[in-house]
Structure 1
Amino acid sequence: MSKHIKILFGALAATGLLAAIVLGVSGFQLWNQGRTEQARTDAMSTAARTVSAMFTYEPATVDTELPRAAENLTEDFRAEYLKLIQQAIAPGAKEKQLTVKATTQAEGVVSADPEHAVVLLYLNQLTTSKDSPQGTTSGSRVRVTLDKSDNRWLVAQVTPI
Structure 2
Amino acid sequence: MAIASDQMTTAEDAPELTTPPAPHEPLTPDSEGPRSRRPAYFLLGLTLVLCVLVTACAVLGVRIQDGRHEAERDAQVLDTTRTVLAQLVSLHHNSAQQDLDRIAANATGQFRDQFDSVADSFAQVLGNGQVESTGEVKAAGIVDANDDTATVLAAVTSLVKNSEAPEGQPRVYRMKATLNHIDNQWLVASVEFVA
* Secondary structure of the structure 2 residue equivalent to 1:60: helix
Q: Distance in 1 between matches of 2:61 and 2:148?
A: 20
Alignment partners' CA distance in 2, 1:113 and 1:149: 13
- Percent of aligned positions that are identical: 21
Question: Counterpart of 1:158?
Answer: 191
CA contact (8 A) 1:39 1:117 kept: no
Report the RMSD for the aligned CA atoms in angstroms: 2.5
TM-score, normalised relative to structure 2: 0.69
Question: What residue in structure 1 maps to residue 16 of structure 2?
Answer: none
* CA distance, structure 2, for counterparts of residue 156 and residue 6 of structure 1: 63
Match of 1:147 in 2: 180
For 1:6 and 1:79, the matched residues in 2 are separated by 72
Q: Does 1:49 align with 2:74?
A: no
Given that residues 39 and 115 in structure 1 are in contact (C-alpha distance below 8 angstroms), is that contact kept between their aligned partners in structure 2? no
Which residue is equivalent to 2:115? 81
Matched residues, number? 160
Structure ranking higher in helix proportion: 1
| Higher RCO, 1 vs 2 (CA within 8 Å, ≥6 residues apart) | 1
**In the alignment, what sits opposite 1:28?**
62
Q: Which of 37, 45, 53 pairs up with 2:71?
A: 37
Deviation at 1:10, TM superposition (A): 5.2
Q: Return the alpha-carbon distance in structure 2 between the equivalents of residues 75 and 143 of structure 1.
A: 16
Q: TM-score, normalised by structure 1?
A: 0.82
Q: Which moved more, 1:25-34 or 1:94-103?
A: 94-103
Greater Rg by CA: 2
AA in 2 matched with 1:48? R
Asked if the contact 2:159/2:170 (under 8 Å) is kept, the reply is yes
Gap change, CA 1:149 and 1:14, over 3 Å in 2 = farther
Please report how far the alpha carbon of residue 31 of structure 1 lies from its aligned counterpart in structure 2 after TM superposition: 0.8
